[in-house]
Amino acid sequence: MKNSKTLSESKHDSYRIAVIGATGYGGLQTIKLLKDHPNFFITYLGGNNTSGKKWNKLNPFLELRDDPIIQKPNIDSIADSSDFAILSLPNGIASRIVPGLLKKGVRILDLSADYRYRSLDLWKQIYFNENKQVERQDYDLCNEAIYGLSEWYKEKIAKASLVACPGCFPTSTLLGLLPFLSQGLVETVGIIVDAKTGTSGGGRSPKENLLLSEASESISPYGVIGHRHTSEMEQEAKHFSGKEIELQFTPHLVPMVRGLLTTVYARLRDPGLTAEDCQTVLDTIYRDNDFIKVLPVGIYPKTKWSRQTNKVFISVQVDKRNGQLVIMTCIDNLMKGQAGQAIQNLNIMTSNSDAKGLPISSFYP
């Protein structure tokens, strides 16, 4: 594929990027962000079902210069054309090509769950259906991969060869909860996570529950016990708290396309702490962050505020009757919850500022 800027013409801060799984929602959002970024240039588009087709015909709403042809993913071709690969593939598929790409020197950002778990055995347990289709023995890569929660692993991400970008629910939950767990300010038992997400979180493949006539004018819980993202959140909560943690997590599907609102309930260890005290904790931890906006006490986040941006809005409240801390966080599930965080991590890996090429201000309403 031709690039609008050849490598010989590129400055030292220009990087060639492959996007594999380019026509799903995550891939499309990634393409949009890369297209507008001054330092990253798309040099390879990969896809199985769409291979051999020209990009602009499939996606006239997101035209690319030179109208590239989508190619069936090939390790050698990706390595020859790219410095980085962003993988937006179904769970289990990325692990088929990641080892080969790493051997070729390609640095990888994986948007699937294949490398989010430090234990491959745990991945096999949680993603048992995918495990039946893919024989994995890459225990070392699972252990070496860096969990791509940008604000909490920045130094490790900068040096990483393989970054496992978190899911949207863990991103929204952990950004609000980790400041209090890491400081030992909340109890590690009885934590409840209640989340509401738009239909794009279910991906682009047709599903009955995501049809307009099914999802419109309705709200419904799903994955009530044992949702896959629960264990992902528990892994990171344990890592930063140093204690085993069991979360009660319930996601809900709401009739909107984009957006994710998470409400976390946790018991304060010191019931004398006020909402203002808890806001100060967030302000201190996220004081130099480009994307996280800590709201004043009494102002609560709306998903529309973060829509089509990489922005995170967090608010806290305390129930003085029982010392219960309420943490409210909203993100755009396709941006900070997926492609936007991948580009943020790519910025970190290439020594750019976190916010370079990423939208912060939303279009409102």
- The CATH number assigned to the domain holding 19 equals 3.40.50.720
Residues 138 and 254 in one domain: no
Does residue 48 fall inside a structural domain?
Answer: yes
* Count of domains forming the chain: 2
Residues 190 and 312 in one domain: yes
Residues 130 and 267 in one domain: no
Residues 33 and 68 in one domain: yes
Q: What is the pLDDT along the chain (365 residues), one digit of tens a residue?
A: 333 333 333 345 899 999 999 999 999 999 999 999 999 999 999 998 899 999 999 999 999 999 999 999 999 999 999 999 999 999 999 999 999 999 999 999 999 999 999 999 999 999 999 999 888 999 999 999 999 999 999 999 999 999 999 999 999 999 999 999 999 999 999 999 999 999 988 888 888 888 888 989 999 999 999 999 999 999 999 999 999 999 999 999 999 999 999 999 999 999 999 999 999 999 999 999 999 999 999 999 999 999 999 999 999 999 999 999 999 999 999 999 999 999 999 999 999 999 999 999 998 88
Report the CATH number at residue 276.
3.30.360.10
- d(C-alpha 55, C-alpha 52), whole Å: 9
Residues 182 and 134 in one domain: no
Does residue 356 fall inside a structural domain?
Answer: no
Residue 34's domain spans which residues? 15-144
Does residue 155 fall inside a structural domain?
Answer: no
Residues 137 and 174 in one domain: no
Instruction: Please tell me the predicted confidence (pLDDT) of residue 203.
Output: 85
Residues 204 and 323 in one domain: yes
User: With a threshold of 0.85, does the pTM exceed it?
Assistant: yes
Does residue 278 fall inside a structural domain?
Answer: yes
Residues 87 and 198 in one domain: no
The count of other CB atoms within 10 Å of the CB of residue 135 is: 8
Residues 122 and 244 in one domain: no
Query: In the annotation, is 278 catalytic?
Result: no
Instruction: Please tell me the predicted confidence (pLDDT) of residue 209.
Output: 84
Contacts of 349-355 spanning 24+ positions with Cβ under 8 A? 349/84, 349/107, 349/109, 349/157, 349/158, 349/160, 349/163, 350/13, 350/15, 350/39, 350/40, 351/13, 351/158, 352/13, 352/39, 353/290, 354/150, 354/154, 354/289, 354/290, 354/291, 355/290, 355/291, 355/310
Instruction: Please tell me the predicted confidence (pLDDT) of residue 1.
Output: 39
Does residue 304 fall inside a structural domain?
Answer: yes
Instruction: Please tell me the predicted confidence (pLDDT) of residue 2.
Output: 36
Omega of the bond leading into 365 within 30 degrees of 0 (cis): yes
Does residue 355 fall inside a structural domain?
Answer: no
Does residue 364 fall inside a structural domain?
Answer: no
Residues 204 and 139 in one domain: no
Final residue before a domain boundary, out of 80, 111, 144? 144
Residues 24 and 123 in one domain: yes
Does residue 19 fall inside a structural domain?
Answer: yes
Residue 293 in tokens: 């906006």
Residues 233 and 194 in one domain: yes
Which residue in 142, 165, 168, 278 is the catalytic one? 168
Instruction: Please tell me the predicted confidence (pLDDT) of residue 80.
Output: 97
Instruction: Please tell me the predicted confidence (pLDDT) of residue 10.
Output: 39
**Is residue 259 a contact partner of residue 307, using CB atoms and an 8 Å limit?**
yes
Instruction: Please tell me the predicted confidence (pLDDT) of residue 229.
Output: 96
